[in-house]
Structure 1
Amino acid sequence: NPFVTERLAQGAWSLLLGVAAAALVPLYFLLTSPDRGRRSTRGPAWLVPLIALAAFTPTGLAMAAAAVVGAMVVAACAGRRIAMPAAFAVPALALGALPALAGTLLGWGAAEAGSAEAGVVAFAARAEPGLATIGSLAGLGGIWNSDAVPASRSGALTLPLTLPLLLVWAVGTVLAFRRPRSADGAPLDASADMLPARTSLGAAAAVVVLVALAATPPGQAILTAMIDAAPALGILRDGQKWVGLAIPGAAVAIALVANAAWASIAPSSRRLAAAGAAAFVLVPLALVPDAGTFLAREFAPVRYGDGWNRVNDELAAAGAETGRPQTVLVLPAGGFRSTPLWAGGRVVLDPAPRLLHAAVLEPGDLSVGGQVVEGEGGAARDAQRALLEGADAGELAAMGVDWVLDETTSRGERGSAGETLAGAQQRFADDELRLWRLPGAESAGADEAEAFAPASEAARRLALAAHACWALALAGGTAGALIAGRRR
């Protein structure tokens, strides 16, 4: 569907992992919270690894938490017993939150808040051609990143490709909430059996409406105020990603309509009924008919140039010489690159922070549609600004910067950096990279690089312990659920 295709094209596979796990949490919670007086045929142990898997990212954790709270409210209002599944879900949420909480604790006071308003506006959901914002979201699209949108979702075909799903939403909702009747016309009580389906559809409708409202000017103002008051709510900026919570509802709606088609046609022709039911199952594929070719173009293995190894050799030698980690500023400014050498000119994440064995100084700023959303690296931003303004090389070294690396084949802002580098020593150059060492970097001590110092040993242990608890919940929870399932 559009959500999966566009998020994959954006490289957000971890978000999809969280969505897939979080989507199962409320359904499994309801399946393991039976009516009073009845016994569940399933154990709630699988809630632990599902929640842990969702917690692979903070967004997935938030989705799982919302799913648990929603399922608890729905189950309690329906008169179901929730003590047992809650006893598994709540501790799992606590364990899953430990890595994020550790990161927040260790970074407390070290980061500067960026522009909430700019981020909210830049990441708001967008309307696709022929569809309002709410229609795009109901069609599982509406992403803010136009580079991640396939051709079929950006032209005249968007509306006719989305209409089948919109109709399925409507018909499936009617089927879920109508009261069934027996052969003699008497009404039947199927509320318990339909509770998971109704919950999924209700949650999907709520998510679509809320995300659409958040994209309006009043909604953006409210969201901006919320993030200004509580910066941790910044994960709400990218509203369209929460549409992932509507995917279970879409699957339920398709299943209900396919089942109804089968039931109405099967008495006369089972083959025709099977074909009719299968047609509805293919609805998601019809939403993005070019998904395969689009993603095939976007994903291909690449080989970075050997220059990166040479740069690492220089950094390693300098680290051994000075006895401390090296710090590197990169050009052009920004966290994305567009080199034709190995990226084919596509916009990709700067590989320097992942390839270099050094502290690569990144402000974390992001440009969306010409609008800059500031990140949290205040000290790195100051150093980058000094470089772009052509500050003296010694002044930059005094700020704690040892090296400057220019990725020459990528477009971007370089400002007056040439004036700064005129006073630096070039240590390496090839077709893609140029590396300069700033004067005084050889003799600089730890005090100059204090703003960019690596984590302390205590901080490392705390972070590792938090992640170990999360891994234990995932691996141990899976093993426990398998053992419990065999015993049952």
Structure 2
Amino acid sequence: MGRASSRVLPDGLVVLATAVLTWPVWTSSGYGLARDMVFTPRAPWSMDALGLGGSPPRAVPLDLVLAAATSLVDGAVVFRVAVAGVLLLAGFGAHRLLDAALPDVPPAARTAARCVAAVAAVWNPYVVERLALGQWALLAGYAALFWVLPAVRRRAWPAVLAWTWLGSLTPTGGAALVLVALVAVVVTKERGTAARWLLVSVLGQLPWLVAALLGTAPATSDPGGVAAFAARAERAGGVWPTLLGTGGLWSPFEVPHSLTGLLGHVLTVGVVLALLVGGRTIARREPALAVAAALGLLLAGLAHLPGGENALEWAVLHVPGAGLLRDGQKWLLPYVVLVAASAGAATAVVAERLRRRDADLARLLPAALAVVPVLLLPDAAGRTWQALEPVHYPDDLAAAVRTLDADGGPGDVVTLPFTSYRRYSWGNDLSAADPLPRWTSHPVVVSDVLAVPGGAVAGEDPRARAVGAVIEAGGPVASELAGLDVGWLLLYLDQPGASGVDLTGTDPVVDGDDVVLYRVPGVDSGPEGPADAAVVAAVAVDALWGLAWLAGLGITLMMATRRRRSC
């Protein structure tokens, strides 16, 4: 196979795998709303989007990027581009990263290796489980790592900035990239280059770091979340074999059934073999990735090490920002990148040995081996399809948003029943976060208590806690909530307990079949917001971040176009 086919075939397989995993978004209209994923027609420019609301800035600068994107095109388009885009970028980047690591491999073996790496990067437990949980933005950090490593090696700094900051849409993705860059400073010979990458990585975290420093949200979390969000064994044998196989999500509901039995064990064995056969090649070329992968694996299972859970609980309770460590499995991010690249490198070894024995059989190897990740996880699409089934928002909810945005008046909005996740009758079959805060620019207070198997994890927002206490007490809530500067109540009529909330004294403004928006009388002013200086500083940092990212991306695209024309 020629050089062109060595790129076209893997890219084609990535497109095919992505199309299968995201099939519902192409066959149905609507918006993404499942688990942590919320796409609305227009994301708001709000204090929460700046990270200056009552909760820690976990979705900064992601919410601002979505607000900017949906200012240009409808959120339904952004939904499809975002979800499919992270998978395509991961697959395309995986085999290009591998290509740089295998300079002396014959063309046929190289093509087979790239095909396997490409499919493995898209079709693995980590990607499937995170996508099923609605955490597509975390996968942006995963996809970016495939691209940023070759860019650092080439010292292509606009590309380094563009990919690193793309991966920093969420604090966790950004922290994972900072980890790899920090390791590179220690373990690579090109320490000057690595130090520059580390600087770029740290600067990419400024939007959420500045928001955390200037905002009023608590910086610590409920230590009970450590046990609730710790990596979980998906099959017999304990949590470490599950993590080695790139699984281990805390929620059992997003885990493909095949991972709980024999195929799960076979997948773990396959991953270990890939690391043993191909991992050395990748580690020689990308030592920082290999070390960061080991550290990521250790962090993922830290709660299961002796004293690890206690140490994490102490850190989460006392160290600002340590709540990022609660969800263990997500720290597998660099490890999964190493696994995908190692699978490709191992394939190159096998392909070359087979070619020496049977050249005709070796020609069939790319298509045959590329199917292996799919065969080891045959029900992956069943999980992602549930989460990616688009929904259509009720007209009542859209009318409520228009009312709030047009003349919301003083006072925040509280959504009822007061819970963090709901299963909507007009949505898909999965529970989902409340879409209202991601749609209206009016301040919204929602419950941040997270129900998990076996209990609940307390939220951080003191305002939500005060509102929740009033509602839990029962009886008429209007006067009590008015005293907390709550000016609006939005009731989802399809929810259990909706009829049990006593809304005596409130005035319905939007009275629909699915949603009712009530005005709470007696509210003359809203709660005190963040200081003007904090808002100005956060806006300035976010604007500079966005402009720098767009500049880096634009220069990278121009340079790539130039290279293609010169070839």
TM range (shorter): 0.7 to 0.9
Aligned counterpart for 1:308 among listed residues 397, 409, 412: 397
Tell me if 1:445 matches 2:524: yes
Asked if structure 1 preserves the Cα contact closer than 8 Å seen for 2:128 and 2:380, the reply is yes
* Superposed counterparts of 1:89-488, under 5 Å: 89-108=197-216, 110-111=217-218, 113-115=220-222, 117-173=223-279, 176=281, 195-216=284-305, 218-276=307-365, 279-315=368-404, 319=408, 324-340=409-425, 342-390=426-474, 392=476, 393-411=478-496, 417-418=501-502, 421-440=503-522, 444-446=523-525, 449-451=526-528, 453=529, 455=530, 458-481=533-556
Name the CA shift for 1:244/1:386 in 2 (closer, same or farther; >3 Å).
same
Q: Partner of 1:50 in structure 2?
A: 163
Name the CA shift for 1:213/1:310 in 2 (closer, same or farther; >3 Å).
closer
**Whole-Å Cα distance in 2 between the matches of residues 159 and 234 of structure 1?**
31
Name the CA shift for 1:194/1:436 in 2 (closer, same or farther; >3 Å).
closer
Asked if structure 2 preserves the Cα contact closer than 8 Å seen for 1:227 and 1:233, the reply is yes
Asked if structure 1 preserves the Cα contact closer than 8 Å seen for 2:297 and 2:335, the reply is yes
Q: Partner of 2:83 in structure 1?
A: none
Secondary structure in 2 aligned to 1:328?
A: strand
Q: Percent identity?
A: 32
Once the two structures are TM-superposed, the CA of residue 317 in structure 1 deviates from its matched residue by: 6.7
Name the CA shift for 1:228/1:293 in 2 (closer, same or farther; >3 Å).
closer
Asked if structure 2 preserves the Cα contact closer than 8 Å seen for 1:200 and 1:252, the reply is no
Once the two structures are TM-superposed, the CA of residue 26 in structure 1 deviates from its matched residue by: 4.5
Gaps in structure 1 of 5+ consecutive residues: 33-41, 177-192
CA root-mean-square deviation: 2.8
**Whole-Å Cα distance in 1 between the matches of residues 219 and 164 of structure 2?**
31
Tell me if 1:2 matches 2:125: yes
Aligned counterpart for 1:63 among listed residues 169, 173, 176: 176
Asked if structure 1 preserves the Cα contact closer than 8 Å seen for 2:125 and 2:247, the reply is yes
Secondary structure in 1 aligned to 2:284?
A: helix
Counterpart residue type for residue 450 of structure 1 = P
**Whole-Å Cα distance in 2 between the matches of residues 197 and 91 of structure 1?**
19
Once the two structures are TM-superposed, the CA of residue 456 in structure 1 deviates from its matched residue by: 5.5
Q: Partner of 1:82 in structure 2?
A: 191
Name the CA shift for 1:66/1:114 in 2 (closer, same or farther; >3 Å).
closer
Tell me the TM-score normalized by structure 2: 0.71
Name the CA shift for 1:247/1:271 in 2 (closer, same or farther; >3 Å).
farther
Asked if structure 1 preserves the Cα contact closer than 8 Å seen for 2:176 and 2:333, the reply is no
Once the two structures are TM-superposed, the CA of residue 48 in structure 1 deviates from its matched residue by: 1.8
Residues 243-296 of structure 1: CA distance to partner in whole angstroms, max 9, x if unpaired?
121122112321222111122121232232344465444443233212234323
Asked if structure 2 preserves the Cα contact closer than 8 Å seen for 1:329 and 1:405, the reply is yes
Counterpart residue type for residue 433 of structure 2 = L
Name the CA shift for 1:461/1:435 in 2 (closer, same or farther; >3 Å).
same
Which structure has more relative contact order (CA 8 Å, sep 6+)? It is 2
Name the CA shift for 1:409/1:215 in 2 (closer, same or farther; >3 Å).
farther
Q: Partner of 1:179 in structure 2?
A: none
Once the two structures are TM-superposed, the CA of residue 197 in structure 1 deviates from its matched residue by: 4.6
* Higher mean C-alpha displacement, 239-248 vs 356-365: 356-365
Asked if structure 2 preserves the Cα contact closer than 8 Å seen for 1:150 and 1:294, the reply is yes
Asked if structure 2 preserves the Cα contact closer than 8 Å seen for 1:119 and 1:237, the reply is yes
Once the two structures are TM-superposed, the CA of residue 163 in structure 1 deviates from its matched residue by: 2.9
Q: How many residue pairs get matched? A: 439
Tell me the TM-score normalized by structure 1: 0.81
Name the CA shift for 1:97/1:315 in 2 (closer, same or farther; >3 Å).
closer
Asked if structure 2 preserves the Cα contact closer than 8 Å seen for 1:102 and 1:463, the reply is yes
Once the two structures are TM-superposed, the CA of residue 62 in structure 1 deviates from its matched residue by: 0.7
Secondary structure in 1 aligned to 2:521?
A: coil
**Whole-Å Cα distance in 2 between the matches of residues 375 and 63 of structure 1?**
24
Counterpart residue type for residue 97 of structure 1 = Q
**Whole-Å Cα distance in 2 between the matches of residues 107 and 150 of structure 1?**
39
